[in-house]
A and B are shown apart, each in its own frame.
Chain A
Amino acid sequence: MYKPELLAPAGDLEKLKWAIIYGADAVYIGGPSFGLRANAQNFTIEDIKEGVKFAHDRNRKVYVTVNIALHNEEGKKVLEYLKELEKTGIDAIIVSDLAIMDIALKNTKLEVHISTQQSVTNKESVKYLKNKGATRIVLARETSKEDIKEIIDNVDVEIETFIHGAMCASYSGRCVLSNYFTNRDANRGGCSQICRWDFNLEDENNNKIEGEKPFTFCTKDLSLLKYIPDMIDMKITSFKIEGRMRSIYYIATIVGIYRKAIDEYMNNKESYKYNKEYEAILNRCANRESTAQFFYGIYDETCQYYNGRIELSNQDFLGVVLDYDEKKGLALVEQRNYFKKGDLVEIFSPNGNIITYEINDIYDEDNNLIDIVRHPKQIVKIKINKTLHKYDLIRIKRY
């Protein structure tokens, strides 16, 4: 029976666990080499093994990005790396360079997914890749609902599309601004996000064409929460969330909301209603505005973001529940943002439950009563008479 996969990013082992606990069916991660986030923490081979065990114990999957554009020097090392990955028990690799696909399929039992870096936009390309042995194609973010549907209707292969997160301003793989501006290779994991820089726009006579804000390539983010029913009805295999560099709060929140929306629609299509509160929670977690972008064929001025590198930030995320003492009714909490006695907060759980609570008694590690929790990662105890659990998160209530 068809059930869409909710696929979450995980920048490290901790985030992998949070993504899975909050409802991701699968996670994608970067290994120690050949991924497009060369400057992220990434996973060691040992981390991958541990992550795979954690995921497989819960019947979830792990995919590893091996999606750089090869240069000669990397080509010589890739087989050895793929064999190391194979031993970890991962469920698939995600590649853009077809030589890597070829090497993997001929020399390992690894399943191969085609990365969005290959910018696959049509059914002929999908057919080609399927015939060559890829089991899943991550479509280009430029494809519309109609494009995706036509591909699914014509080629029997798994199709993955993005549902949430930041967008490349360019076709993926067709931007090397980073190479030319900073010498950092965009297609080998060094992208320095020149698309978020400000530029002066000029005419041929060097006259500035100036708006109220400077020119930038930068776009709003993607959010397809509203279109989850459409995507499910189209039978898209996997719904992908962007953001391997994002925080545990972001991952838990976004995964949790999409998990709820998907399950609610799958459980009862007739009675499903779009929940605006979910949208509000996603928006609070974002640092840019979002739109449906190419999914509905729209890539006009309403999709641009002219605030350059300025990103909205909030201090909603207050803390992580580390433990709960049933006898004393005390939650052990690690602080992430300033909070104080009297704050109205929401405590949300991997099972989707949300508790609204006004913070009352707060104790420091020496059991002294305090009013304010101001230090990053400060460990405190909060009196609460409702049972909390490890992996619960606390955010300020804003509506």
Chain B
Amino acid sequence: MKANRLSLAVGLLVAGMAPVAAQELSIGLKSEATSMDPQFHNLATNTQVNKNIFESLTTQSSVQKITPGLAESWEAVDDTTWRFKLRQGVKFHNGSDFTARDVIYSFCRVPLVQNSPSSYTIYTGDIADMEAEDDHTLLIRTVDKNPLLPVNLWPLAIVSADALGAEDTVTYGPEGTCEGMGEVPQAPAFNDPDIAVGTGPYKLENYTRGAELVLSRFDDYWGGTPDWERVVMRPITSNGPRVAALLAGDVDMIESPPIQDISRIDDAGFNIVDALSNRVIYLHLQQLADAPGIGGTDGKNPLMDKRVREAISLSINRDAIAERIMGGYAEPAGELLPPPMFGTSGRAVDPYDPERAKELLAEAGYPDGFTLNLGTPNDRYINDEQVAQAVAQMMARIGINTTVDATTASQFFSRRNALEFPIYMAGWGAASGEMSSPLKALVATFDADTGMGATNAGRYSNPEMDKVLIEAMSTIDEGQRDELLQKAETIALDDYGIIPLHYEQTVWAMKPELTYEPRMDQYTMAREVKPTTTE
């Protein structure tokens, strides 16, 4: 507190002398990045932090539109070849120039990162070859037709080939067969600011695990002088203390204040911003004859009956959940991605109609309902455990007696993947910002060979939908792809193969002197926090 007042006083003094904002920005985050290596752990928590230090060829705007980043422009030469024009005059933090060599080195390093709990190879695996036509022109060839290449490049951070000890020429080879890589530094080395060198607006100054991450301004940033002299990010994982830290003035801004505290924070004069996110919360119903956790049906799986699935959807009062449990910070969902994002059809939200739901249950041969076990994580999504209980409450009203099996995310995901839940609640945030992401992962028929349906733990399968989706995924033409994705989604939702509940809204709270343009991908990016007063 005292130090804070002091820094404020110093800030005022400096502000009096130089018009450039010279203050410090401190942010309370709800989770901590696991490493400073931007290629170590492919996870939102890490991405939102390392995007301040490192940049990518493409950038995603706050509404998930792909815009130029370190690449000024790009074009598809043919179905599998893309040409990228790299930005000129970009400097790394260590003073070296940004060239095509850095890009090739960065993509080459991805499969060479050891012990990665979630590798970035899911974005580079499709790259067959890379070729530098000159220092600032790059050809990328993909194995298959991949309309999403520019989207996939956004998570791939560009590191400095010089700082990491590459040779003068780096030649691309798929799956870790690059040449000229030198000795590749591993993730722990990135705690050293001389290794964690990017092109971003902020430089790594100091990283104390569990306590704070300090960034300082990079004066030669190509995009103009960054707003803050110093940025401090502190992980405060408990909700209450995070809010308290904001109210007490320990931090200037926090992400994800608990919904119930928002009005209080607002009353205290803080600035609240919020926006619809790309994350849909959904129910998945197991479509295997021997589903566990179902009682009162003589061993049959009632969820295989479309009428029962429809009844469950109609039994849920989505407005009440959005209002009561989510405090208004959610929107009832009729699709897997909020419209008007790419591939959405504007489909209406299922109505709340418990009477019709009971009729459907009776028609399906379950007039007295049955019992069901609903799985949910309790520390993953906003008020997840509460939402699941409310869903159970509503299903109980139409005769489906539901018990809630809430566990921590670690146990939930393992048990879900082992198909232990007849019905489960989870969330999906489309990192690509378009419809193929949820369809491919959640609804497509599970197939380990093609990578389809990887998160389809209900094992829903609809060959008709699969066919349309696969066609969409290899269609480069935007208009045609949009149409195909809408068609595929409609097939799945008409069949109640998955039941969307609501889209989460993401909230940030900050001092009134600050503004933040809310991001659909729920990222908190220090580089986008701006002071309101510029004089």
**Chain A partners chain B:** no
